[in-house]
Amino acid sequence: MTAMPGTDKQSSRKVILFGAGALARLAYYCLSEDSPRQVAAFAVDEAMMKTDRMLGLPVVPFESLSDQFPAESHDLLIAVGPHDMNRPRADRFTEGKAMGYRFANYIASRALLWPDLDIGEGCMIFENTVVEPFTSIGSNVVLRAGVHVSHDGRIGDHCFLAPRVAIAGGCTIESHCFLGINATLRDGVTLAKRCMLAAGAVATRSTEPGGLYVGVPAKRSTDSSNMKL
């Protein structure tokens, strides 16, 4: 499925944002000001609820979301950060699908994408991001402002790329990866599943799964499971 700015065929369906932190506030603002979509509410895990209102909208328990905002008329979008190597993001995405929800995409009007882009659902692509031709992006992926994805790239599900990440041609980022601000992948590199590439690190060769890679050139420092974002 290709999703381009301003062409969301589900624009009549309101969006529920999962999350109540900084990324959720940002997603609310961007959807409200830079898309045809309207946010109806925020959802969080019941155990994490601290308020029942945010930005003038209700905050509801995710566990009972369908009671007030049924899947027949609402879409979801996961708007939390890459904690625990994106595991909570992936879990809520999977649970939302099981509850029957579709997932909205937000693609900034100032992002530069090409018509052949193959993109999943539940993605957020922010301003000044460039995605070159012959590229595929999975579901539940966040590309923050200024990310550059060169030609013939592949980004797997449940990945989070911080601002100004640069990915050279022919790279693969497998699922559940996090790339810190200004991280770089040399052409043809594969970032294996559940890897973290630290801020400013440069990956010049492919990695092994589940590692934290730091430095220039990037070297494995520890397991990514040891890191708390």
CATH number at residue 33: 3.40.50.20
Specify whether 128 is located in the same domain as 207.
yes
Measured CA to CA, the distance from residue 47 to residue 208 in angstroms comes to 35
Specify whether 112 is located in the same domain as 150.
yes
Longest dimension (CA), the chain: 51
pLDDT digits (tens, 9 = 90+) for 46-72: 999 999 999 999 999 999 999 999 999
Specify whether 115 is located in the same domain as 88.
no
* Total number of domains in the chain: 2
81 among the known binding-site residues? yes
Q: Give domain status of residue 225, yes or no.
A: no
Last residue of a domain, one of 78, 103, 128: 103
Helix, strand or coil for residue 65?
helix
213: tokens are 């890679």
Check residue 7 and give its pLDDT: 40
Q: Give domain status of residue 176, yes or no.
A: yes
Is 193:177 a contact under the CB 8 Å cutoff?
yes
pLDDT tens for the chain, residues 1 to 229 = 344 444 455 577 999 999 999 999 999 999 999 999 999 999 999 999 999 999 999 999 999 999 999 999 999 999 999 999 999 999 999 999 999 999 999 999 999 999 999 999 999 999 999 999 999 999 999 999 999 999 999 999 999 999 999 999 999 999 999 999 999 999 999 999 999 999 999 999 999 999 999 999 999 998 988 766 6
Last residue of a domain, one of 81, 103, 125: 103
Secondary structure string (H, E, C) spanning 167-195: ECCCCEECCCCEECCCCEECCCCEECCCC
Measured CA to CA, the distance from residue 143 to residue 199 in angstroms comes to 15
Check residue 10 and give its pLDDT: 56
Kindly calculate the radius of gyration of the chain based on its CA atoms and give it in whole angstroms.
17
Q: Identify each DSSP E strand in 9-111 by its residue range.
A: 14-18, 39-44, 53-54, 57-61, 74-78, 102-103, 106-107
Specify whether 203 is located in the same domain as 115.
yes
Last residue of a domain, one of 103, 119, 149: 103
Handedness of CA 72, 113, 128, 149 (dihedral sign): positive
Specify whether 132 is located in the same domain as 40.
no
> How many residues does the structure list for the chain?
229
Q: Identify each DSSP E strand in 96-206 by its residue range.
A: 102-103, 106-107, 118-119, 124-125, 130-131, 136-137, 142-143, 148-149, 154-155, 160-161, 166-167, 172-173, 178-179, 184-185, 190-191, 196-197, 202-203
122 among the known binding-site residues? no
CATH number at residue 146: 2.160.10.10
Check residue 11 and give its pLDDT: 72
Q: Give domain status of residue 226, yes or no.
A: no
Give the H/E segment covering residue 115.
none
Specify whether 158 is located in the same domain as 211.
yes
Specify whether 174 is located in the same domain as 76.
no
> Could you tell me the residue range of the domain that residue 93 belongs to?
14-103
Q: Give domain status of residue 121, yes or no.
A: yes
The residues annotated as belonging to the active site are: 151
Check residue 3 and give its pLDDT: 42
